[in-house]
Structure 1
């Protein structure tokens, strides 16, 4: 016997096996059991969600030799022949290939004749929206008042193209696209029976790519079984489908967050060596940004459905909510414009570069540079005259590169908060390590033992090393030890300073007349969260 593809082999034979369409199954089952049968049913929905399948089960239920029921026996001649596609009283019409009015009239000429062996003569129109306008007009009268022995079942992926006069004569069922969880559950039932081993992450990737279509999911599984020799693992499935691996996704987002264009293009180059699908790659990035956005407000929800919890947490720690939303919007626009780019690769690269270019730190740097210009950022054509008229502005305003020094914790805190070109994760690295010592051009730093791996990346160390060299005017080498220490980090120093200022402000407020009266009369005390400190607005 020749091989039968999984989509046909596992097509539901009764209503109980239908996945994800409970609202349709329930209505049809009640109608069949109570014999409240309409003469025309219209099934709408995207591809591969069960329109034709449910129509065939309905045809089987109407003509089962055991009687009309929501549970056809599956054993009688009528049930077997419907399953085999050879039942004489089930006339399936491919409307896409029989669009002419002559074809429709030829079919309708046979409507008055009684069924050959069944209870009902059933016409099943697939993709009925493809019929011509004249065909619909010829069909209307028969559709409105058919003989008692005739039932019309219609399926379409585009109900908007159907005339309202047809829609008003039918009971319409809208089949929804299936959830990824429903597709995964069904695949987990099917694959063991097919003697196929699998990783949950692999079938999750297949479910996502199928976009709610069970037929698409089973077709992809057929391909994956051949590709992996019945061992569905995530790496092989993603490679087969041209999808990005999780490592690539996280590497790209780390590079964007750190504004490291060199690392970014190194990862992109590796991606293209694997022949990935560009649109799918953007989808993967958008999905990960979606997960990061949700993690900011509902971490437990996201972590319960992902396999890379630690990486997700680390990435969420180095991105703000505003950055995530910005990157997501840029990614959406990049995907929209992908077809307009000279090549798909250029479209992807420019999208990633926009994420870096429009980073909030980039914008603030540009603003600072403009404001520091003697003429508000515009070119001064007469530089000599400008220097004479405004001598105080011609002197270099920011000279940390020439005068900066790092010999103590105070110096390190000042460097971490004021050094130019220190941004993103490199800045977070500087703020989360302690200054230990300096000997010549060697600076020793101490990081906490539980420091995030995202913060401790070598690329962050290299960036900070470069910025320090510019800051103090000589080449330095950084050494980082991970150990417990009592030396404060810049973040800890800043938090301590803020707490001291906050306590001082609270004490001053308590001494004022009105707050003192409120405290004596009502026991009211100042809310620390409501106090706006000068440190919160450095301007």
Structure 2
């Protein structure tokens, strides 16, 4: 064939041409100039980022007739022979096709022989993670102590599959995904050199669809050139990559904004009619709203926009869309994208998502109202607590008969907000033992570390205060946190399940705010006084101290805490 694909024609022949991997090429060039060449290298990274190309360039630079050099000359017999593949001393071995130990031994048997055409034998083993365990074992000893004239370069996209004994004997270089800007600059150079007329916006579309791989980008560019007539336009790039156009995204977002379900479904029908991929459409929508959010919050970063063009329709829509609604749209689209990966009917998911997005304004307002109400309740709770604290400290200057009123009001407000299960708590107190409480406290730290962060945060200021064989009482410092915790079934189930694994017992959690716990416990002690020796005994032992304190400070200023 006379025609070659662009990624083959423009394969890097110097370190300078390896785009986006300066951290690798600079290190290798310094090692070449200082003649500090290692006997084994491991190049790992995503596909199309230049691993094999860099390995061949390194092989040429080592064996160049002008060595030591930072770049191969690509003119001497050694460089030309390695480029053409006519020098047998530089062997490119495909581990995906030759993974058996017998094939690896055939290669290693020739390692001991000196090179015939160049100074160093270089073995480039591509996709090395595909080797079998036996092949790795055969390679291990040779890799540890190879002859002075042999250099191994291993390339892989999955380094976690390589044994650590192999990795520890290599200098490892991790190749990164190439940025869209670097890919665009490389493609600009190629189209200028080849004389192809190409829209810069089309190059940006192709670079984003390549997802960090230069080879994928050049393949898409090659396809777009074949599809186009005289000039590669944005529409050509959209057709090749399967992305939706800017006008189509604006139309879809307008349907969401106007709550026009019919228009949204018509746009989806048009999208599918033109053969677009539903998964690609969801991704385009996410990037569309990502760019809208970036435009609203940081309008000076126009060069960071990945998907949209700043036309008048987009600017107007961005000004009319609240930031909170953009957050909710991105979150919903992201969840839909995850669900579509595991379904055989992505179209149905997409249609349902379109309908929900067109009806999202109402739920957004309800969410905002709920959030504002929660903030207001939190603020009221804080103010009530501060007011109660101030009145408690300044009670000596106030009339004694006025003191109990604000306390009763605070208790009534708290009681309306959360009602603990007093009957169940009293049953726990009747059957409570010190051993059960110590069992829970002893495993409390390990249990919290096993919870999710959102669940563990609810226990920051909570502690178990009483326990029986089947249940325990958990005291919360703040009533609002107690209400939140006891209303979450997933939190209660997680705590009970983890404690069951740690203790071997299934406990039921009973939550109570600190203020209400003091009242419940005091009422229980007064009820059980004289009936059970275990409870009445300690109360009688403390009575002389309590009586003395009441004489010194007054009964209204005493609060008994266990």
Equivalent residues of 2:272, 2:278 under 8 A apart: no
Q: TM-score, normalised by structure 2?
A: 0.63
- In the TM superposition, what whole-angstrom CA distance separates every residue of 1:134-190 from its partner, at most 9, and x where no partner exists? 111111111011000000001000001111111110000001011100001111111
Give 2:355's aligned residue: 353
Secondary structure (helix, strand or coil) at the match of 1:49 reads: coil
Residue 309 of structure 1, CA deviation: 4.0
Matched residues in 1 for 2:210 and 2:352: separation? 28
Secondary structure (helix, strand or coil) at the match of 1:299 reads: coil
CA RMSD of aligned residues (A): 2.0
Give 2:334's aligned residue: 332
Which deviates more from structure 2 when the two are superposed, residues 117-126 or residues 312-321? 312-321
Give 1:207's aligned residue: 207
Matched residues in 1 for 2:40 and 2:271: separation? 52
Residue 71 of structure 1, CA deviation: 1.8
Distance 1:340 1:359, change over 3 A: farther
Equivalent residues of 1:303, 1:309 under 8 A apart: no
Distance 1:107 1:356, change over 3 A: same
Matched residues in 1 for 2:230 and 2:8: separation? 19
User: 1:5-404 maps to which residues of 2 (within 5 A)?
Assistant: 5-302=5-302, 305=305, 307-361=309-363, 364=366
Which deviates more from structure 2 when the two are superposed, residues 158-167 or residues 239-248? 239-248
Matched residues in 1 for 2:356 and 2:365: separation? 12
- Structure 1 unaligned blocks of 5 or more: 369-539
Matched residues in 2 for 1:237 and 1:206: separation? 6
Residue 107 of structure 1, CA deviation: 1.1
Secondary structure (helix, strand or coil) at the match of 1:337 reads: helix
- In the TM superposition, what whole-angstrom CA distance separates every residue of 1:67-95 from its partner, at most 9, and x where no partner exists? 23222221111101111122211111100
Residue 364 of structure 1, CA deviation: 3.5
- In the TM superposition, what whole-angstrom CA distance separates every residue of 1:483-519 from its partner, at most 9, and x where no partner exists? xxxxxxxxxxxxxxxxxxxxxxxxxxxxxxxxxxxxx
**Which protein is richer in helix relative to its size?**
2
Matched residues in 2 for 1:120 and 1:345: separation? 57
- In the TM superposition, what whole-angstrom CA distance separates every residue of 1:466-490 from its partner, at most 9, and x where no partner exists? xxxxxxxxxxxxxxxxxxxxxxxxx
Residue 236 of structure 1, CA deviation: 2.0
- In the TM superposition, what whole-angstrom CA distance separates every residue of 1:93-137 from its partner, at most 9, and x where no partner exists? 100011111111111111110011110011000000000111111
- In the TM superposition, what whole-angstrom CA distance separates every residue of 1:411-454 from its partner, at most 9, and x where no partner exists? xxxxxxxxxxxxxxxxxxxxxxxxxxxxxxxxxxxxxxxxxxxx
Residue 342 of structure 1, CA deviation: 4.4
Distance 1:45 1:367, change over 3 A: closer
Give 1:531's aligned residue: none
Secondary structure (helix, strand or coil) at the match of 1:359 reads: helix
Matched residues in 2 for 1:338 and 1:361: separation? 23
Equivalent residues of 2:282, 2:333 under 8 A apart: yes
Matched residues in 2 for 1:190 and 1:102: separation? 43
Aligned length: 368
- Structure 2 unaligned blocks of 5 or more: 371-562
Equivalent residues of 1:89, 1:120 under 8 A apart: yes
Q: TM-score, normalised by structure 1?
A: 0.66
Equivalent residues of 1:330, 1:354 under 8 A apart: no
Matched residues in 2 for 1:111 and 1:225: separation? 45
- In the TM superposition, what whole-angstrom CA distance separates every residue of 1:376-413 from its partner, at most 9, and x where no partner exists? xxxxxxxxxxxxxxxxxxxxxxxxxxxxxxxxxxxxxx
